[in-house]
């Protein structure tokens, strides 16, 4: 691969050469007329010690239902499932966010299922890590190590990022060792990719490859702006489209993991959709950014704050939002009890309201959407031998697949489920289309999730 000058260096060098005599050089000089060229090296010398390698070992357990013919052959005491265990190893990256306490952030998918997590520091030390907590819906995990002389990254305000800002990705791709790439912010608020349940990604063209997951995306001050998480890679390698979880969202999640050992997700209590051109024209609006509120759940945080169906939510804590998905992701990563200032448009007038977020529970629409995107809009509640649908929001994904109030989910494909926990586990282990077995009145039917 050919060496390229960083974007910052290229821009400054071009400006310099316009006002200075041409100098014939066989290679890029360290200085021109005594003026040293800009370099990312001084910033990286301070930053790279905070990015670590994460090596994991564990055992994958897979269950396969035995066909009825085999169970008949082996007798009535034959097991219903065949269990297989397969050892695995994996590599990823992590970021030290607190040097004194040894806290390290990485991706949940990097450490998921691991029995042992080993941290490789920049100075060559290897230290076993303790898992503090994870959040699968946002793909964040918090680790802790006991070590001295650690370096941590300072967090930037990721809400201040703009398209075109320079970025630097640091990680351990392909197990090669620490690698640094540079680029720009290509887009903000990316969602609808199906990578995670709650998506509000920073998109960057800084090269991100396998093994970069959990690594740092920093600005030119060496401040953390995001955690590298995913790539669009049809051929299996970098094609210039990578995604990072914004640092502000990470900070909200980490504070909950430290305090509770889990994420206690905040809930606003609305269902809705992105504001599009058709809706904007129908409501006579001059904006096409925001979240349109289809329905407000009774006694929810939104209801108590005075939000009404037909409102368009355009900002959170004075920061503009582009879509309902961005609203959902930001609210979902704030803790229960958080006080949130929401900017809304109602009948063409701008208003500001304050909501105190409720806590996601087994009976919230937000919890349903976290279980599976096509269940969003349904209110779930555990009942005897199943999960009941107590409400279905009009126009929601749950309504579109045919769920009705009073339905009870009793199985996934050929497996029975008894509660929301089992429903979530079955859907997580399933790939492609899955069939929900529904008890409706005294009959059974299947509805397909894709």
The DSSP secondary structure of 18-45, one letter per residue, reads HSS-----SS--SEETTEEPP-SHHHHH
Query: Residue 375's pLDDT band (boundaries 50, 70, 90)?
Result: confident
The DSSP secondary structure of 172-186, one letter per residue, reads -GGGS--EEEEEEEE
Q: What is the mean pLDDT of residues 326-350?
A: 89
H or E element in which residue 326 lies: helix 324-332
Higher pLDDT, 425 or 9: 425
Query: Residue 7's pLDDT band (boundaries 50, 70, 90)?
Result: very low
Q: What is the mean pLDDT of residues 61-66?
A: 60
For the purposes of burial, counting CB atoms within 10 Å of the CB of 169, is it exposed (0-12), middle (13-18) or buried (19 or more)?
Answer: buried
- The radius of gyration computed from the CA coordinates of the chain, to the nearest angstrom, equals 25
Residues 6+ apart with CB under 8 A from 178: 48, 51, 53, 122, 170, 171, 172
Instruction: Give the model's pLDDT for residue 260.
Output: 87
Q: What is the mean pLDDT of residues 224-249?
A: 83
Instruction: Give the model's pLDDT for residue 349.
Output: 86
| 3-state secondary structure (DSSP) of residue 276 | coil
Query: Residue 396's pLDDT band (boundaries 50, 70, 90)?
Result: confident
Q: What is the mean pLDDT of residues 390-410?
A: 84
Instruction: Give the model's pLDDT for residue 305.
Output: 93
Q: What is the largest CA-CA distance in the chain?
A: 90
Both structure tokens of 92: 């990823």
- The yes-or-no verdict on residue 366 having pLDDT over 50 is no
Q: Which domains does the chain have, with CATH numbers?
A: 7-39 (no CATH), 40-260 (2.40.10.120), 266-359 (2.30.42.10), 365-449 (2.30.42.10)
Instruction: Give the model's pLDDT for residue 376.
Output: 75
- The yes-or-no verdict on residue 334 having pLDDT over 80 is yes
Query: Residue 13's pLDDT band (boundaries 50, 70, 90)?
Result: very low
Both structure tokens of 143: 């680790």
Among 36-40, 120-124, 282-286, which is the least confidently predicted range? 282-286
Residue corresponding to tokens 């199985």: 411
Higher pLDDT, 30 or 115: 115
Active site residue 109: yes
Annotated catalytic residue, options 6, 93, 135, 139:
139
Annotated catalytic residue, options 182, 213, 271, 323:
213
* E strand spans, 276-394: 291-296, 312-316, 319-320, 339-346, 349-356, 358-359, 378-383, 386-392
Q: What is the mean pLDDT of residues 46-63?
A: 87
Query: Residue 336's pLDDT band (boundaries 50, 70, 90)?
Result: confident
- CA 47 → CA 195, 334, 338, 349, 398, distances in Å? 28, 28, 32, 46, 45
Q: What is the mean pLDDT of residues 393-412?
A: 85
Instruction: Give the model's pLDDT for residue 5.
Output: 34
Greatest mean pLDDT among 149-153, 317-321, 423-427 lies in: 149-153
Residue corresponding to tokens 């290897």: 126
Query: Residue 278's pLDDT band (boundaries 50, 70, 90)?
Result: confident
Under DSSP, the state recorded for 113 is T
Annotated catalytic residue, options 109, 191, 205, 323:
109
Both structure tokens of 63: 């269950």
Active site residue 260: no
Instruction: Give the model's pLDDT for residue 21.
Output: 43
Q: Which residue from 326, 362, 144, 187 is spatially nearest to 249, judged by alpha carbons?
A: 326
Active site residue 139: yes
- The mean of the pLDDT values for the chain is 81
Higher pLDDT, 374 or 178: 178
Instruction: Give the model's pLDDT for residue 150.
Output: 96
Greatest mean pLDDT among 87-101, 184-198, 390-404, 415-429 lies in: 87-101
- The yes-or-no verdict on residue 12 having pLDDT over 90 is no
- The yes-or-no verdict on residue 386 having pLDDT over 80 is yes
Phi/psi at 26 (5° precision): -80, -20
Query: Residue 27's pLDDT band (boundaries 50, 70, 90)?
Result: low
Residues 6+ apart with CB under 8 A from 286: 280
């Amino acid at each position: 691969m050919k060496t390229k000058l960083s974007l910052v260096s290229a821009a400054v060098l071009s400006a310099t050469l316009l006002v200075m005599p041409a100098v014939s050089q066989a290679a890029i000089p360290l200085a021109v007329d005594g003026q040293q060229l800009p370099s990312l090296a001084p910033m990286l010398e301070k930053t790279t010690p905070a990015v670590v390698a994460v090596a994991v070992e564990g055992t994958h357990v897979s269950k396969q239902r035995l066909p009825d013919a085999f169970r008949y052959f082996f007798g009535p005491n034959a097991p219903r499932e065949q269990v297989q265990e397969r050892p695995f190893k994996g590599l990823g990256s992590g970021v030290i966010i607190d040097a004194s306490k040894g806290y390290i952030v990485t991706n949940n998918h990097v450490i998921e299922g691991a029995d042992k997590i080993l941290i490789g520091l920049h100075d060559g030390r290897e230290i076993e890590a303790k898992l503090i907590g994870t959040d699968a819906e946002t793909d964040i995990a918090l680790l802790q190590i006991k070590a001295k002389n650690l370096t941590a990254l300072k967090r930037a305000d990721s809400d201040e990022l703009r398209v075109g800002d320079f970025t630097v990705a640091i990680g351990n791709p392909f197990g090669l060792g620490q690698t640094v790439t540079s680029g720009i912010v290509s887009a903000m608020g990316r969602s609808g990719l199906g990578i995670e349940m709650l998506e509000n990604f920073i998109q960057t063209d800084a090269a991100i490859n396998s093994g970069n997951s959990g690594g740092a995306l920093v600005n030119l001050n060496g401040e953390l702006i995001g955690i590298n998480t995913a790539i669009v890679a049809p051929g299996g390698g970098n094609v210039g489209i990578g995604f990072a979880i914004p640092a502000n969202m990470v900070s909200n999640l980490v504070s909950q993991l430290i305090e509770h050992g889990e994420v206690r997700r905040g809930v606003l209590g609305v269902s809705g959709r992105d504001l599009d051109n058709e809706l904007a024209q129908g409501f006579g609006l001059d904006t096409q950014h925001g979240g349109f509120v289809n329905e407000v759940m009774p006694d929810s945080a939104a209801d108590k704050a005075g939000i009404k169906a037909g409102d368009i939510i355009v900002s959170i804590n004075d920061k503009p939002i582009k879509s309902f998905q961005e609203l959902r992701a930001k609210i979902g990563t704030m803790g229960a009890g958080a006080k949130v200032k929401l900017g809304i448009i109602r009948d063409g007038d701008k208003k500001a309201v304050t909501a105190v977020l409720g806590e996601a529970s087994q009976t919230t629409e937000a919890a349903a959407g976290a279980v599976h995107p096509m269940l969003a809009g349904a209110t779930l509640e555990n009942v005897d031998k199943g999960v009941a649908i107590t409400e279905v929001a009009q126009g929601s994904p749950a309504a579109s697949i045919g769920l009705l109030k009073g339905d009870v989910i009793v199985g996934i494909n050929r497996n029975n489920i008894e509660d929301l926990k089992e429903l979530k586990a079955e859907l997580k282990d399933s790939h492609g289309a899955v069939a929900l077995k529904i008890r409706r009145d005294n009959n059974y039917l299947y509805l397909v999730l894709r």
